[in-house]
Amino acid sequence: MAVKAKKTARKSNTIKLKFDTSWSYDPAPESKSAASIKPKYDHFINGAWVKPAGGKYFDSINPANEEKLSEVADGNEADVNKAVSAARNAYEQTWQKMPAKERAKYIFRIARMVQEKARELAIIETLDGGKPIRESRDFDVPTAANHFFYYAGWADKLEYAFPNRKTSALGVAGQIIPWNFPLLMAAWKIAPALATGNTVVLKPAETTPLTALKLAEIIQESDLPPGVVNIITGAGATGADIVNHPDINKIAFTGSTDVGKLIQRAVAGTNKRVTLELGGKAANIIFEDAPLDQAVEGVINGIYFNQGHVCCAGSRLYVQESVAKQVIRKLKDRMETLIVGDPLDKNTDIGAINSRQQLDTIQRYIKIGKQEGAEMYESSCRLPGKGFFCRPTLFTNVAQSNRIAQEEIFGPVLSVLTFRTDDEVIEKANNSPYGLSAGVWTDKGSKIFNLTKRMRAGVVWANTFNKFDPTSPFGGYKESGFGREGGFAWVIALCEFN
Ligand code: ADP
Domains by residue range for the chain, with CATH: 39-278+480-497 (3.40.605.10), 283-471 (3.40.309.10)
- Residue ID of nearest Cα to ligand 1 atom 26: 239
Is residue 171 lining ligand 1, measured as CB closer than 6 Å? no
Closest CA to 227 of 201, 193, 257: 201
The CA distance from 411 to 365, in Å, is: 10
Q: How far apart, in Å, are the Cα atoms of 376 and each of 156, 176, 341, 370?
A: 54, 36, 21, 7
Instruction: Report pLDDT digits (tens) over 215-229.
Output: 999 999 999 999 999
Q: Does 111 or 21 have the greater pLDDT score?
A: 111
Specify the ligand 1 atom closest to the Cα of 259: 6
- Quick one: which atom of ligand 1 is closest to the CA of 256? 6
Ligand 1 centre and the CA of 175: distance in Å?
11
Atom number of ligand 1 nearest to Cα 242? 25
In this predicted structure, the answer to whether residue 308 has a pLDDT above a threshold of 90 is no
**H helix or E strand, kind and range, residue 386:** none
Nearest CA to ligand 1 atom 13: 205
User: Strand ranges (DSSP E) for 224-281?
Assistant: 229-231, 250-254, 273-277
312 is catalytic: no
- List beta partners, residue 175: 202, 252
* Per-residue pLDDT tens over the stretch 412-421: 999 999 999 9
- Say which residue, 253 or 10, is predicted with more confidence: 253
Q: Is the pLDDT of residue 346 over 90?
A: yes
Q: Is any ligand 1 atom within 6 A of the Cβ of residue 186?
A: no
Residue 371 burial by CB count (10 A; 0-12/13-18/19+): exposed, middle or buried? exposed
What pLDDT shows up at residue 6? 40
Is it the case that residue 159 has pLDDT exceeding 80? yes
Ligand 1 pocket test: pick from 183, 251, 259 the residue with the most ligand atoms within 8 Å of its Cβ. Answer: 259
pLDDT score of 25 more than 90: no
- Catalytic residue at 311? yes
Query: Of the given ranges (221-235, 249-263, 295-309), which has the lowest mean pLDDT?
Result: 295-309
What's the CA-to-centroid distance between 239 and ligand 1, angstroms?
A: 7
Weakest-pLDDT range from 3-7, 71-75, 200-204, 414-418: 3-7
Average pLDDT over residues 282-303: 96
Instruction: Determine the average pLDDT of the residues in 272-283.
Output: 94
pLDDT at 306: 82
Ligand 1 close to Cβ of residue 264 (< 6 A): no
- The Cα 214–Cα 124 span in angstroms is 9
> Does any ligand 1 atom lie closer than 6 A to the CB of residue 259?
yes
pTM: 0.93
CA atoms within 13 A on the CB side of 322: 7
User: Mapping DSSP to helix (H, G, I), strand (E, B) and coil, where does residue 184 land?
Assistant: helix
E strand segments, 267-307: 273-277, 283-286
> How far is it, in rounded angstroms, from Cα 318 to Cα 196?
41
Average pLDDT of span 94-98: 97
Radius of gyration of the CA atoms of the chain, in A? 23
CA of 41 to the centre of ligand 1 (A): 20
Nearest Cα to Cα of residue 64 among 332, 389, 478: 389
Query: What residues have CB less than 8 Å from 11, skipping those under 6 apart?
Result: none
Q: pLDDT at position 41, please?
A: 98
